[in-house]
A and B are shown apart, each in its own frame.
Chain A
Amino acid sequence: MASSSVPADGHGDHTRRDFLMVATGALGAVGAAAVAWPFINNLNPAADTLALASVEVNVKPIEVGQAITVSWRGKPVFIRHRTAKDIKEAEAVPMSELPDPQTDNARVTDTAKKVRPEWLIMIGVCTHLGCVPLGNKPGQDKGPYGGWYCPCHGSAYDTSGRIRKGPAPLNLAIPQYLFLSDSLVRIG
């Protein structure tokens, strides 16, 4: 600034004036953002909402071929005791047929890395727009792939809960879970 050729009285010193304007504006913008942040962050989940972290479920009464729905974080979680046929079908699907490729094994592994193909535990929320798919209760439409079918917009899932057809982009999500014993599972 000192090397500027304009007179020292400041008249016509556009460079200096511009610098002050930009610096003031930038500082003002930072201030506005700092004030806006608490208002925006205020809408994020509160500590008590975050604290609803886990549920424990006794899976012993669930017979082969049965499924139950439990509530976790306000969402339904499907627990299906799969039949040998379910498992075989799920494992036989070539990856190239899947919109969201994932092996069946990867979907039945708990946080201790133990694989239990008979237990499929997933969040029962369609990855399209959040409806609860049908197929968890006896007599409900399981869709063309024998897993689950979302009546809202027609997404169909297979016996591993993977998306096969319809507008949903992803497989049904797998929550973190851990088998504390052969009959007790902790979700979350």
Chain B
Amino acid sequence: MASSHGTPPVFTNKIVAWIDYRLPIFSYIEKEYHTFPTPRNFNYFWNFGAIATVMLVLMIATGIVLAINYTPYVTMAFDSVERIDRDVPQGWLIRDLHMNGASFFFIAVYIHIFRGMYYGSYKAPRELLWILGVVIFLLMMATAFMGYVLPWGQMSFWGATVITSLFSAIPVVGDAVVTWLWGGFSVGNPTLNRFYALHYLLPFIIVAVVALHVVALHVHGSNNPTGIDPKGPQDTVPFHPYYTMKDGFGVVVFLIVFSGFVFFAPDYLGHPDNYIPADPLVTPAHIVPEWYFLPFYAILRAVPDKLGGVIAMFGAIAVLFILPWLDTSRVRSATFRPIYKWFMMVLVVDVVVLGLCGANPPAGFWIPLSQVATLYYFFHFLILLPILGKIERPLPLPPSIADSVLKKKAG
């Protein structure tokens, strides 16, 4: 692929040429975002990396502005958020963008993860690219959790209590670890202060890991819907203008849906209980995390043992790290894997079912349902994937990307 990069660009603008000779940022942009050879057959699933990046930038921009008006102190935090909503010029807009932005960042990332799983983007030589992605996902979860604590409503407080208490399940040192996380004997002012500091820090660490994610991506280039490597210039197009346009289009469509929530249903994805100031003596009748954590919350509750539940919940994310080695099939794309294709859809249904279980109280048929769904989740990764790769007979792969595209056109 390096061959199609051609000769380094010559800049006619003297200032650009002067800078580029000393710090080759323009050459870099030219090479990685303009001429960069990209498979010509992307579908719209390939938009979500760019969409997630836009959401990250939006979250940081709105977050910095919110921080200017926010007060991280237990007696003032709730009121300072209300003040942002009511009194600060355009504060309501910035806050609603940030609040709903978190949800839409997760929507983009979940679709991005699904894309990676369906088209086998995690397979050699992109294992590290995938692992960096899981690291970003974990950092996002930590950041979102700590951000949700800052308005200091009832869900903030009790969400913080339940999630930090997960660590008390660690044998021997658990309670000491929890006291250390809290900076006290319960969730309180020291907890709010440190969560605020970390909530401001972590997004910049996410930016750094995203940079590594992109560097790793640009070593071997993107995967594509056929899962076969580009074999020459006939299989690729330059990143700009082809995919800058396509990504731009996808971003705009995504932002239209996002704006619908921001302007017409800003609290639809939140919980009314978080508009009640935190009360350390009263737990809300029904504690639920934000929707994007519900499947993992259901796994936590599915196991009738404290330590077991915590291990299962973290295990559900840990299996993603070793996914490139659990999937033994040498064919990347589900398009050519007749059995895996269906199991991948079953996994999506399973995760949605887990989400529903997490949203409902732990009683009645929700308990056995969440247990079955949890078992299936681990069955998919730990048993099905290693075996399926051995027994499944893949469909014949097309000879090249160009070939598959042109055949589709002709047919």
Residue pairs across A and B with CB atoms within 8 Å: the count is 84
**B179 beta carbon closer than 8 Å to chain A:** yes
Taking a contact as CB atoms under 8 Å apart, the answer to whether A154 and B362 are in contact is yes
Asked if B287 and A167 make an inter-chain contact with CB atoms under 8 angstroms apart, the answer reads no
The interface centre, meaning the residue of A132, A166, A167 with most chain B CB atoms within 10 A of its CB, is: A167
For A112-143 the 0/1 string (1 means CB < 8 A from B) is 00000000000001001111100000000000
Q: Does A49 interact with chain B (Cβ within 8 Å)?
A: yes
Contacts of A5 in B (CB 8 A): none
Chain B residues in 8 Å Cβ range of A49: 183-185, 188, 190
Q: Within B152-186, which residues are at the interface with A (CB < 8 Å)?
A: 158, 161-166, 168, 179-186
Is A43 touching B183 in the complex (CB atoms < 8 A)? Answer: yes
Q: Interface 1/0s, chain B 277-293, versus A by CB < 8 A?
A: 00011110111000000
- Would you call A132 and B283 a contact (CB within 8 A)? yes
Query: Is there contact, CB below 8 Å, between B161 and A44?
Result: no
Count of chain B residues with a beta carbon within 8 Å of a chain A beta carbon: 37
Any A CB within 8 A of the CB of B306:
yes
Among A40, A75, A128, A154, contact of B186 (Cβ-Cβ < 8 Å): A75
A72's nearest neighbour on chain B, judged by CB, is B185
Question: Which residues on A sit within 8 Å (CB–CB) of B301?
Answer: 153, 167
Docked-complex contact B166 and A74, CB < 8 angstroms: no
- Jot down 16 A-B pairs with beta carbons below 8 A, ordered by A: A40-B180, A43-B180, A44-B180, A45-B179, A75-B186, A76-B280, A129-B166, A129-B306, A130-B161, A130-B162, A130-B168, A132-B282, A151-B287, A152-B287, A154-B363, A167-B304
Partner of A76, one of B158, B163, B182, B281: B281
Q: Roughly how many angstroms separate A45 CA and B182 CA in the complex, as a whole number?
A: 8
A103 located at the interface, meaning its Cβ lies under 8 Å from any Cβ of chain B in the complex: no
- Indicate if B324 sits at the interface (CB-CB under 8 A): no
Q: Which of B182, B194, B305 contacts A167 (CB 8 A)?
A: B305
Contact of A151 with B281 at beta-carbon distance under 8 Å, contacts A45-B183, A129-B162 already known? no
B309 CB–A CB distance under 8 Å:
yes
Since A43-B194, A46-B183, A151-B361 are in contact, a sample of 20 more A-B pairs with Cβ atoms closer than 8 Å, ordered by chain A residue number, is A44-B179, A44-B183, A49-B184, A49-B190, A73-B184, A74-B184, A75-B280, A76-B281, A128-B165, A129-B168, A129-B306, A130-B165, A151-B285, A151-B287, A152-B287, A153-B301, A166-B304, A167-B305, A169-B306, A169-B307
B13 to chain A, nearest CB (A): 47
Within 90-134 of B, Cβ neighbours of A (below 8 Å) are at none
With a CB–CB cut-off of 8 A, which chain A residues contact B183?
43-46, 49
Distance (whole angstroms) from the CB of B245 to the closest CB of chain A:
48
Q: Return chain A residues, CB-CB under 8 Å to B190.
A: 45-46, 49
- Identify the closest chain A residue to B181 (Cβ): A43
In the bound assembly, the distance between CA atoms of A166 and B187 in angstroms comes to 24
> Which partner residue on chain A sits nearest B309 by CB separation?
A167
The answer to whether B283 and A131 touch across the interface, beta carbons within 8 angstroms, is yes
Docked complex Cα distance between A127 and B186 (Å): 13
- Across the A-B interface, give the 10 residue pairs with the lowest CB-CB distance, nearest first: A74-B186, A130-B165, A73-B185, A129-B165, A129-B162, A130-B161, A131-B283, A132-B283, A76-B281, A49-B184
B215 to chain A, nearest CB (A): 28
CA distance A45 to B185 in the complex (A): 8
Please name all residues of chain A whose beta carbon is closer than 8 Å to the beta carbon of B161 when the two chains form the complex: 129-131
State in angstroms the CA–CA spacing of A155 and B304 once bound together. 10
* B194 to chain A: closest residue by CB: A43
Contacting B at CB under 8 A, from A35-50, are: 40, 43-46, 49
* Bound CA span A151–B165, Å: 16
Q: Which of B158, B179, B305 is A131 in contact with, Cβ under 8 Å?
A: B158
Q: Which residue among B280, B283, B301 has the maximum number of chain A CB atoms within 10 Å of its CB?
A: B283
**Nearest CB of A to B119, in Å:** 38
Instruction: For A76, list chain B residues within 8 Å (CB).
Output: 280-281
A67: CB under 8 A from chain B?
Answer: no
B379 to chain A, nearest CB (A): 23
Say whether A151 contacts B283, CB under 8 Å: yes
A154 partner residues in chain B, CB cutoff 8 A: 362-363
Contact A151 B166 (CB under 8 A): no
